Amino acid sequence: MPLYTPSTHPQDSIIGCTFKSWEGLHYTCDSYEDTLGYWMFRTDENGILVRRNVSKRAIGSSFRRATNEN
């Protein structure tokens, strides 16, 4: 299974972008795997890396693209 990253897919609309979860936390998508979905790490945590797997269906619903005003 290939791993998609910002360096292998620089034009991807999700990989490498920051999202706001339904809880109001910010995550950046660092990769995608066909069988698992998107891998995201939390970017608003002070010095602690929190990484989670996010379903493709969650993008646009419980994970929305972060904007400057979020």
DSSP state of 9: -
Q: For residues 2-23, b (16+ Cβ closer than 10 Å) or e, as one string?
A: eebbeeeeeeeebbbeebbbee
Residue 70 has pLDDT above 60, yes or no: no
Q: What is the DSSP string of 8-45?
A: T-TT-SSTT-EEEETTS-EEEEEEEETTTEEEEEESSS
Domain ranges of the chain: 3-64
* 3-class secondary-structure state, position 49: coil
Residue for token digits 């795997």?
33
Q: Which residue type is seen at 61?
A: S
Q: 4-58 pLDDT, tens per residue? A: 999 999 999 999 999 999 999 999 999 999 999 999 999 766 767 889 999 999 9
pTM equals: 0.84
